[in-house]
Structure 1
């Protein structure tokens, strides 16, 4: 026999299956269930279908409404209904109509059965005191008992009183039957045998593994004991009842123990439900303040919903209340979400007005030739635009494209002007460098390095200060390097002096190619080296002050030599860093 737990599990699996169905499939499933002859046999399935359909349709409405509102629509103007909703409503109305008719018919049946049972009681009353033979009277009594059993159920509110009346008149009849002991004893024995069979069936139920099945079967046995068996002799009456009662107690105790365990499970499941409801309430207490946060919360709400459904059985009397409490908590969150979107629509309209104002300002100055002032103003407007936030979706892309087009129009004009100016700077720089190269090539002097070295340094500095020239100026750079090399080779310079000129040439090449990043990187490296060398020199000077060797000591000579070399290196590094700084300033000035 199917237990409550198995039935609940089957219903849960059925509900889970339905959650994967679309609205059309749910309508078809309802049609299928309504083909049943016994409408009560599909009650739980139909209610489950209705619940799943309602949840899915409400979720669809929420999404449609959210899109409608996000596009600037008014909540009061939102109307949406799919034809399939009418199809489902018509089918469900048909189900409710059939259920109503079923209950009306059941009520009529109960009323007819009640009247028939009253007629049976009246018939038994008529048998008492009759003057016909006891055999005939007893036969009529048995026929009336059979009628009682065959009549069927009556309503619960009338059953107990009706049963007592029936038993009362049956006992009166047996007292009357006492006059004929043979018939009475025969009936007592028959009833005893039936009661013993019931006891054996009850004994078998004590071995039934499923306590719920055993309990339900026991209720049937009690009904048979009550309805289908009459009294037994006083000698056996107490014994058979005590035996049946003892077996009933054993079965009932098992059932109570199970119910106690179920009660603990129910309490645990109720607490789980309450915990989830509290989590949902916490969302309402601290609602999100951004669209992304709301998306995350709504996803979390779906997870809470799934967790809530998977918790397990709840007591029948509380299940609906707990579920309703959860729905109220969810509804509050959705209400807050709608309030948020309403407020966002107000903000978005304000944002749209602000963006329109900024667009108007850019449109007014996009053709201006006050380049410096206009550039700063448009950059400030762009910065302000980024702080504004979302506008209504249907207007957002359109106004952004217009704003972007206006800004691009101005900056394309600015870049075109800058390109022309840059080319002019390159042209002028190239002319200046041609003059410097010509002067270098025409320079006449003695081969003494004392004259050539300062001149080369001066020429290289002029070349660097001019800054970068166009890529096409590589030829002039090559010519310049050749000219410097000729003088470098003709003058008999020391290695250090040649290194100085070569390093200046290296910086000149970087500058001509506008490699400011490489120049800065070189300056950083040399500055670090200078710092380290300063530290080492200071330590060397300190050590010399502590050291007191004899005059002319080799150690003292070594100290002095190292110190002089360090100081010389420091001066070389400082000169290089100054040169690099001049190159950086030249490029920054050239392209400010």
Structure 2
């Protein structure tokens, strides 16, 4: 693209270097504009592409390869092979699932791929051929323009015939404007030379004022119209289209002859100002587009990092893998809703995401294969347990066999799953053997169960007696009665298993409540007796001091005894009934010691109050 300005401005007023800062856009920028426009269109929601739809679009482009966008061709190629690779992966998975080895998989010939390659080859050949023709035409145009420059040079070297040569000069100008592009490397050079000869010719031209003014007037009308068109483009919503239209206006402005010297700067400044606004809008549009693309890249990068950060060593179950698979699929769906990333990163970030997803599904396939192997091993282990259970089911050694079967059931739970088609069969075989034994055991021990029910009724009767004992005022009788009931409880045998914890809890709640009541009543009685004793004590303060010292020693001894009991509690286990009873007894002793300690403290306090009163 060549620079545009007033064709006949003097070099120091309309030099191309000055205009370059305002209107020049490199070929790469123009290409980027086309690229970004394509990206913008492609970011719109479209139907999911297929290999056939991609191929159809490619065939359409093959009819007019000259106007086909390189980015669109690259995008179509990427889409086609993305779909092609997905098909290959599905075929490979099917091949492996059917027992084949991955390294032995050989894809079949794909007719669509062959046609795709042929069409791409045709488009490439046509574009190369067109490019060669364009370059050839540019060289021809260069030759023609060089011929015009030679003729212009001759006109400028004949100043005496300038007025007579004016028509020839205008004809040469028209021919120059009709000739299109020349090689980019020569464009600026020959344009400067052309400008030099044009300006030189006008400088030596001795036209009459009326003819000269008419020429300037027509050029001013044209350039004013071009300024107005450029100013309308500043309001154009499609900034890409406005930018390309502006390039055509620049070409026309440049090809138009000069205006009067006093208006040259003004008309150029007006056109230049509108051009600056259009160019700025164009640049701002692509900066915003790049921001959107960068945001898309950031979102896609986060998605890649999420998939790459999956902790595979934590995925050890079907459910775990299935949940994680749904997360990955959701991320893939999210990916499809995000637009293009910057062109230089778009393919790279997609390849990164595809690799992380491929790694995930490959590891999932490996897990399922390993799990399948484990299921075969688990089935063999469970068959062994079935054989052991079947060997024990007719045993009449009820306790030992029940423990052995319980152990087998525990082992069964520790073994992993088996395949669904064997799961029910192997389980029914195992549980049938276990159920048969326990049914026989139940029949043989029915009399024992009757005894357990009877024991349950006896223990309930004791709990009822404990409830009546709770309100007894005579602590000595109540404590004796409580000890007798506790001894009777311990002499009673087992109760039904399902009632054991419930009845035991009721019993200990009742016993603990009575002991709490007895301890409280006994403490109050002791304190009242002690208060009476110190009031009638002979010997005065001296006796009180001795009694206080005695209580202090008693308090320290009791504290040490309490500490010993509390330490012993940490070494006892309540896993057996005997161990549980011992724990309960020690806890009661601890509670009683704490109550007695409080009584001793209250006695010491009474002595201190009495001594203070005496003073």
TM-score range, shorter chain: 0.5 to 0.7
Say which is worse superposed, 93-102 or 378-387, in terms of deviation. Answer: 378-387
Deviation at 1:101, TM superposition (A): 0.3
Residues 155, 66 of structure 1: alpha-carbon distance in 2 compared, 3 angstrom cutoff = farther
1:248 lines up with 2:248 in the alignment = no
Measured in 2, the distance between the counterparts of 1:199 and 1:101 equals 39
* CA deviations over 1:447-474 (Å, ceiling 9, x no partner): xxxxxxxxxxxxxx7993799xxxxxxx
**One of 293, 301, 310 as aligned partner of 1:277:** 301
**Equivalent residue of 2:257, what SS?**
coil
**One of 22, 35, 42 as aligned partner of 1:11:** 42
Corresponding pairs, count: 455
Measured in 2, the distance between the counterparts of 1:267 and 1:127 equals 51
Measured in 2, the distance between the counterparts of 1:206 and 1:413 equals 91
Measured in 1, the distance between the counterparts of 2:404 and 2:190 equals 97
Q: In the alignment, what sits opposite 2:512?
A: 531
Residues 349, 122 of structure 1: alpha-carbon distance in 2 compared, 3 angstrom cutoff = same
**One of 231, 237, 257 as aligned partner of 1:230:** 257
Deviation at 1:273, TM superposition (A): 2.2
1:521 lines up with 2:505 in the alignment = no
Query: Structure 2 stretches of 5 or more lacking a match?
Result: 1-32, 458-492, 530-576, 578-615
* CA deviations over 1:534-577 (Å, ceiling 9, x no partner): 322433344444567xxxxxxxxxxxxxxxxxxxxxxxxxxxxx
Q: In the alignment, what sits opposite 1:351?
A: 374
Equivalent residues of 2:375, 2:416 under 8 A apart: no
Say which is worse superposed, 262-271 or 374-383, in terms of deviation. Answer: 374-383
Equivalent residues of 1:212, 1:255 under 8 A apart: yes
Equivalent residues of 2:385, 2:412 under 8 A apart: no
Measured in 2, the distance between the counterparts of 1:466 and 1:313 equals 78
Q: In the alignment, what sits opposite 2:564?
A: none
Deviation at 1:108, TM superposition (A): 0.2
**Equivalent residue of 1:18, what SS?**
coil
The CA RMSD measured in Å over matched residues stands at 5.0
Residues 523, 246 of structure 1: alpha-carbon distance in 2 compared, 3 angstrom cutoff = closer
Measured in 1, the distance between the counterparts of 2:66 and 2:236 equals 29
Deviation at 1:229, TM superposition (A): 1.2
Measured in 1, the distance between the counterparts of 2:91 and 2:265 equals 73
* CA deviations over 1:68-103 (Å, ceiling 9, x no partner): 65676533134556x8x6326514641552353034
Measured in 2, the distance between the counterparts of 1:40 and 1:55 equals 26
Residues 388, 263 of structure 1: alpha-carbon distance in 2 compared, 3 angstrom cutoff = farther
Measured in 1, the distance between the counterparts of 2:183 and 2:413 equals 75
1:322 lines up with 2:351 in the alignment = no
Residues 320, 242 of structure 1: alpha-carbon distance in 2 compared, 3 angstrom cutoff = closer
Aligned residue runs from structure 1 range 329-344, under 5 A: 329-337=352-360, 340-341=363-364, 344=367
What is the TM-score when the length of structure 1 is the normalising length? 0.60
Measured in 2, the distance between the counterparts of 1:91 and 1:137 equals 60
Deviation at 1:157, TM superposition (A): 4.6
Deviation at 1:126, TM superposition (A): 3.3
Deviation at 1:347, TM superposition (A): 4.2
**One of 43, 52, 74 as aligned partner of 2:101:** 74
Deviation at 1:326, TM superposition (A): 1.7
Equivalent residues of 2:43, 2:340 under 8 A apart: no
Query: Structure 1 stretches of 5 or more lacking a match?
Result: 434-460, 468-510, 549-580, 582-592
**One of 436, 445, 448 as aligned partner of 1:416:** 436
Measured in 1, the distance between the counterparts of 2:39 and 2:298 equals 21
* CA deviations over 1:269-309 (Å, ceiling 9, x no partner): 52562364155236435542216555555544455555556
Measured in 1, the distance between the counterparts of 2:270 and 2:502 equals 105
What is the TM-score when the length of structure 2 is the normalising length? 0.58
